[in-house]
Structure 1
Amino acid sequence: MVKEPARASSRDGAGMIDGPAVRPGPGPDPQPARSRIRTRTSGAWPFRAFGRSFMSRLLSSGSADDDSSGPRVAESRRALDFGLAPALINGQAMTRRSGSERGSRGGTGRPRGASIVVASDWAPIRAFEPVMSADPPAVYGDLLPVLRRADMRIVNCECALTRARRPVWKSGAVFKGRPSHASALSAVPFEVATLANNHVFDYGLTGFRETLDVLRRHGVRTVGAGMTLAEALAPLRLTVGDERITIVNFGEGEDLTASTGGPGVCGWEIDQLARTIRAAKRRGDFVVVVGHAGLEYIPFPPPYVVEAFRALSEAGADCVVGHHPHVPQGLEVRRGRLIAYGLGNFAFFQPPELLYRRTGFCLSLEARAGGLASYALHPYRITDQGLRRLGAGEERRFREALGRVSSPLRTAKGIAEAWQSYLAFYGPEGLKAEVLGILGMMDTEPRKGAAMFRNRITTLQHRELWRDALTRFMSERPAPVRPD
């Protein structure tokens, strides 16, 4: 059972929000230039092996009923779930102490604790719109029992739930569902929806207000955005079983209506977020941090994301979870605290027939006496009918792939090399194509082009990419010019 105390005061600290308001207007985002670039390789981390095709190559030969590798899957699952895989956790084993060692809030004996499932992006769009409309729980397929076994469930609401018809001018696509689609959340039920993402304001303030009201009426609490600055900054505090839970949600603030007074989202103020976490840990809370950040469609977190997520973990967060890249990224355990940089998509359908974008995982966390006792991964395939848990052979290949893309996290050199491999793949051609595409859009659809350009220079993920790419280009030896 989930109980909600009074919301924490904004004085506890969380992210700040700023930036100009977005303007109403339609228009889809053209395909990003970098997704059209041919695959290249460079250095110790060839992007072809570890980049866009990694899930396709390592999962394509599996089938749902392939159970020939059951023992190997079980061994791999134990290694990952209990923090014993060196490739994932820098050789550190997770500390698992009993209730008597850590203290019990309920008198003598071991506290019962609480189980929490954290899932990533959810939206009733594209192929999932009719599925969620006709039979809301059906979209979760055979993952539904896993979700329902938990004491509490958290998901990222990656859209507005509104009848509003006028979208904002923004860089990317706009997403919305009807208010009735919220029944696909309450049917599980998801008790908490994180909102610090780049789509919750896609239909402006009207759509956002209605989204808050719809979620509230369906019994879904929200965190990470609000009509006032205080609401956006406040962490969500709940009691689940014997555990006091604090949930902190933040994002990069991409394309969101934001001002010093609100409305807006909890933004990228890592020091302030760390103060929020330390205050929660002093109260003995179990702290889950959910961040919407990073570069889309690559399996490595950029260095600035690694630095930020690790800082929040060092502040005491028991689990830091990321989404927004739409593909699985690596994970690690540091001092008994889990960091999962990207869960991939959840109930969020994307058309390309690419398995790395049609594969994701959710996390089960076992909280006990204010700390992380254990965790488990639940990988699945995203089909046009909904989610399907991986078969034994598929799961083995998935876990092997996840271990490989986690391995750069073991060293600072690995993190840098992984990022440099993407910069090499992106290349001068990628940057030129992206800039020319935006300039072309400014000719044909000026407000859309302006939104795209503003997004590239104000949003951390794009600014970091362009800065580091330009720095790399400046340091490279130019190719010799051949005479005609």
Structure 2
Amino acid sequence: MHIRSIFLSALLIMLPLHAHAQQRLTVVLMGDTGFNGPGAHVSEAGGFKRGELVAVEDAMAKIGPVIRGDVVLANLETVVTDRNDIPQREKMFVFRTHPAHVRALVRHGIDVLPLANNHAMDLGGAGAGETLRHMEGVPGLRAFPGLGRTREEAMQPHVFVVRGAKVAVSAVGNAGGGLPAREGEAGMLREDRDFAGVAARLAGEPADIRILSVHYGPEFAPLTEKAAQERFRKVESAGLTIIAGHHHHVARGVELSDGKLIAYGLGNFLHLGTQDMRRFDICRDYGLIVKAGLLRGRGGYAVETVEIVPITKMHIAPEPLTGDAARLRVEVMNYLGSRLGEGRLRFAPQADGSGLWCAAGATDARCAGWQAPEASPREAEIAAACGKDVRRGNF
């Protein structure tokens, strides 16, 4: 048994049984989210997908019940504004989402919306300022880190308390700039320059759970680069609980490093500005929801369970995959994890289409008799798909 598993087993044994239900928290992680098509004007009536209006209620109908948790995080990859007159930057894809749709997403349970990514500055500093102004008034939204009017504000963790646990969340992404910001505007730090500083600032925040959202890396690449692994693992020793990675539009492997959970890539969640990923191969045609079960012991919160839910139709109305299709994508995730080394997680396919990993000694009822799965009989096919060089298609 690995030393981390022995430590967690001892931690779980030391906890009194009656405390388990009260001390267990679920953190739900999801990828790229936005509610409008590229270049589309905003409308309170709905988001546009290929010129047709879509309502948040319809888009969330099948996935809403799946994302229940104590902390529910999704990367918000868009400017948030009710204005169509702000000039946009010269780039291939520009996203703006009406604040009414952000409020609707929060009503569906998404309460943490990191803002740092390569579309946060699509409308320049003025658009980023609009985003901050609107996010500050969303009822039920607990955290929206990643933008700021100053460098310190952009770096500052957002802190809140849920069921007695103090949670701190920070975010850093690619294609930042605009700091210090002009009056009424905002800017963003860059992950290639500021990753270590943002992580260190978060690690120093007095909190029970520390979550870092990172928008990084090449698109459509499911295999995690060694440099990214090394960088994220270094940060792990500084006291972070979870690192949530995104930007690739495809899922990547999941691991534990020194007891800290790293989801290297969550893929898309719900973004009307993205293409239908079903046109790609089995290594790229799904998104990923990660549910981390954290159990509080004398040494703080430890990762007891990790559940993954492969999803489809992320471009318009996400829903969980089921049956053989879901099982195959869980096996793909196990293959991607196998490329990460010692800390990789292997998920046992479940009857509902999800995959489950349990720490040794876990007291979660779902973990009774849990065993790591064998390699997939389709391993060669999976490896061939994940090894392809895939480029962006047309929306």
Query: Which among 214, 221, 241 is matched to residue 291 of structure 1?
Result: 214
In the alignment, what sits opposite 2:108? 188
Question: Structure 1, residues 320-373: CA drift from partner, whole Å, max 9, x if none?
Answer: 110001111111122322111001100024235226554111111223333223
Quick check: 1:248 aligned with 2:167?
no
Q: Which has the higher contact order (CA 8 A, sep 6+)?
A: 1
CA drift of 1:290 comes to: 1.1
In the alignment, what sits opposite 2:26? 115
Consecutive unaligned residues of structure 2, counting only runs of 5 or more, are: 39-45, 344-384
Output the CA distance in 1 between the equivalents of 2:204 and 2:177: 28
Name which of structure 1's ranges 223-232 and 264-273 shifts more when overlaid on structure 2. 264-273
Determine which structure has the larger helix proportion and give its number: 1
Counterpart secondary structure, 2:337 = helix
In the alignment, what sits opposite 2:286? 359
Q: Evaluate the alpha carbon distance shift between residue 243 and residue 363 of structure 1 in structure 2; reply closer, same or farther with a 3 A threshold.
A: same
In the alignment, what sits opposite 1:160? 79
Counterpart secondary structure, 2:304 = strand
Counterpart secondary structure, 2:125 = helix
Output the CA distance in 1 between the equivalents of 2:204 and 2:14: 23
In the alignment, what sits opposite 2:37? 126
Q: Is residue 118–residue 155 contact of structure 1 (8 Å, CA) maintained in 2?
A: yes
Q: Is residue 286–residue 312 contact of structure 2 (8 Å, CA) maintained in 1?
A: yes
Query: Which among 378, 392, 395 is matched to residue 326 of structure 2?
Result: 395
Q: Is residue 358–residue 382 contact of structure 1 (8 Å, CA) maintained in 2?
A: no
In the alignment, what sits opposite 2:361? none
Output the CA distance in 2 between the equivalents of 1:102 and 1:201: 47
Quick check: 1:142 aligned with 2:55?
no
Q: Evaluate the alpha carbon distance shift between residue 182 and residue 411 of structure 1 in structure 2; reply closer, same or farther with a 3 A threshold.
A: closer
Quick check: 1:228 aligned with 2:150?
yes
Q: Is residue 161–residue 181 contact of structure 1 (8 Å, CA) maintained in 2?
A: no
Which residue identity lines up with residue 190 of structure 1 in the other structure?
I
CA drift of 1:406 comes to: 2.1
Output the CA distance in 2 between the equivalents of 1:96 and 1:122: 36
Q: Is residue 277–residue 315 contact of structure 1 (8 Å, CA) maintained in 2?
A: no
Output the CA distance in 1 between the equivalents of 2:334 and 2:94: 33
Bigger-Rg structure (1/2): 1
CA drift of 1:134 comes to: 5.2
Q: Is residue 24–residue 293 contact of structure 2 (8 Å, CA) maintained in 1?
A: yes
Query: Which among 336, 354, 358 is matched to residue 405 of structure 1?
Result: 336
Output the CA distance in 2 between the equivalents of 1:164 and 1:200: 16
Output the CA distance in 1 between the equivalents of 2:3 and 2:16: 27
Quick check: 1:382 aligned with 2:313?
yes
Q: Evaluate the alpha carbon distance shift between residue 284 and residue 385 of structure 1 in structure 2; reply closer, same or farther with a 3 A threshold.
A: closer
CA drift of 1:93 comes to: 4.3
In the alignment, what sits opposite 2:14? 101
Q: Is residue 33–residue 271 contact of structure 2 (8 Å, CA) maintained in 1?
A: yes
Determine which structure has the larger strand proportion and give its number: 2
Q: Evaluate the alpha carbon distance shift between residue 334 and residue 102 of structure 1 in structure 2; reply closer, same or farther with a 3 A threshold.
A: farther
In the alignment, what sits opposite 1:338? 261
Q: Is residue 37–residue 95 contact of structure 2 (8 Å, CA) maintained in 1?
A: no
Q: Is residue 361–residue 379 contact of structure 1 (8 Å, CA) maintained in 2?
A: yes
Q: TM-score, normalised by structure 1?
A: 0.59
Output the CA distance in 2 between the equivalents of 1:146 and 1:215: 24
Output the CA distance in 1 between the equivalents of 2:305 and 2:165: 15
Which residue identity lines up with residue 286 of structure 2 in the other structure?
T
Which residue identity lines up with residue 139 of structure 1 in the other structure?
A
Output the CA distance in 2 between the equivalents of 1:91 and 1:114: 24
In the alignment, what sits opposite 1:373? 304
Output the CA distance in 1 between the equivalents of 2:164 and 2:12: 12
Query: Which among 239, 261, 270 is matched to residue 347 of structure 1?
Result: 270
CA drift of 1:171 comes to: 4.3
CA drift of 1:318 comes to: 1.6
Moved segments of 4+, more than 6 Å: 421-424
Name which of structure 1's ranges 154-163 and 203-212 shifts more when overlaid on structure 2. 203-212
Which residue identity lines up with residue 272 of structure 1 in the other structure?
G
Question: Structure 1, residues 366-420: CA drift from partner, whole Å, max 9, x if none?
Answer: 23333223221122111664011111211110011111122221179xxxxxxxx
Q: Evaluate the alpha carbon distance shift between residue 217 and residue 424 of structure 1 in structure 2; reply closer, same or farther with a 3 A threshold.
A: closer
Counterpart secondary structure, 2:232 = helix
Output the CA distance in 2 between the equivalents of 1:114 and 1:406: 24
Q: Is residue 167–residue 174 contact of structure 1 (8 Å, CA) maintained in 2?
A: no
Question: Structure 1, residues 103-153: CA drift from partner, whole Å, max 9, x if none?
Answer: 99xxx9454242221211111123982589654233123221122x31221
Aligned length, in residue pairs: 323
Q: Is residue 222–residue 386 contact of structure 2 (8 Å, CA) maintained in 1?
A: no
Counterpart secondary structure, 2:290 = strand
Q: TM-score, normalised by structure 2?
A: 0.72
Output the CA distance in 2 between the equivalents of 1:267 and 1:365: 27
Quick check: 1:325 aligned with 2:264?
no
Output the CA distance in 2 between the equivalents of 1:206 and 1:261: 9
Counterpart secondary structure, 2:265 = coil
Q: Evaluate the alpha carbon distance shift between residue 179 and residue 361 of structure 1 in structure 2; reply closer, same or farther with a 3 A threshold.
A: same
Output the CA distance in 2 between the equivalents of 1:188 and 1:422: 33
Identity of aligned residues (%): 23
In the alignment, what sits opposite 1:46? none
CA drift of 1:277 comes to: 4.1
Q: Is residue 89–residue 124 contact of structure 2 (8 Å, CA) maintained in 1?
A: no
Question: Structure 1, residues 68-112: CA drift from partner, whole Å, max 9, x if none?
Answer: xxxxxxxxxxxxxxxx9xxxxx997483565783799xxx94542
Question: Structure 1, residues 259-281: CA drift from partner, whole Å, max 9, x if none?
Answer: 3568322333343234334423x
